[in-house]
């Protein structure tokens, strides 16, 4: 009976709830600090292929859209394609310094977007070639930028051979 009386008169048990409250407050402050340093979430990009065409000699001929029409005589040789793209965020603001890659049909073109979110892609070094019995082909577009989801579009540009 003597021990029972001492247990109820002991005030040291009050420290446990106070310690729990202090640890909870400190933990919440630490969690808030961690959340504050997490980078902002990534967003989607809006990509538009403004113009596409070919470079013959030193002359570039572009038409709006993502289709390049080539006659049969020109298609026998390797083609130098030119594609102009614009990259914006969901609010319509240009995305600069995005890496833009166009590849397919044996050709590749890379560039980065400028301050206006525009990139001109020219397949100079690895030129595009349609096969002898191939009347059409497509190229894929890949765009990466910090703070945005990667953009991958298969069959983004189409090359059509006419007779």
For the question of whether the overall pTM of this predicted structure is more than 0.85, the answer is no
Q: Are residues 149 and 79 in the same domain?
A: yes
85 or 7: which leads in pLDDT = 85
Beta bridge partners of 121: 83
Q: Are residues 22 and 73 in the same domain?
A: no
Residue 118, CA distances (Å) to 32, 152, 159 in order: 39, 17, 22
Q: Are residues 6 and 61 in the same domain?
A: no
Q: Are residues 30 and 71 in the same domain?
A: no
Q: Are residues 70 and 146 in the same domain?
A: yes
Confidence check: pLDDT of 73 > 70: yes
| Per-residue pLDDT reduced to its tens digit, 127-138 | 788 888 888 999
pLDDT at 82: 93
Please report, for the domain that includes residue 154, its CATH number: 2.60.40.10
Lowest mean pLDDT among 29-33, 76-80, 89-93, 153-157: 76-80
Q: Are residues 56 and 76 in the same domain?
A: yes
Q: Are residues 155 and 99 in the same domain?
A: yes
Q: Are residues 86 and 61 in the same domain?
A: yes
Residue ranges making up the domain that contains 20: 2-37
């Amino acid at each position: 009976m003597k021990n029972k009386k001492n247990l109820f008169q002991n005030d040291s048990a009050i420290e446990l709830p106070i310690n729990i409250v202090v640890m909870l407050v400190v933990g919440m402050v630490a969690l808030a600090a961690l959340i504050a340093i997490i980078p902002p979430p990534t967003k989607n990009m809006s990509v538009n292929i403004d113009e596409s065409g070919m470079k013959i000699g030193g002359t570039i001929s572009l038409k709006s859209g993502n289709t390049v029409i080539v006659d049969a005589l020109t298609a026998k040789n390797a083609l130098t394609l030119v594609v102009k793209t614009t990259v914006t965020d969901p609010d319509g603001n240009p995305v600069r310094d995005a890496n833009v890659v166009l590849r397919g049909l044996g050709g590749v073109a890379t560039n980065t977007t400028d301050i206006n979110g525009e990139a001109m892609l020219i397949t100079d070094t690895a030129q595009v070639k349609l096969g002898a019995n191939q009347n059409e082909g497509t190229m894929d577009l890949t765009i990466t930028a910090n703070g945005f989801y990667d953009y991958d579009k298969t069959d983004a540009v189409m090359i059509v051979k006419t007779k």
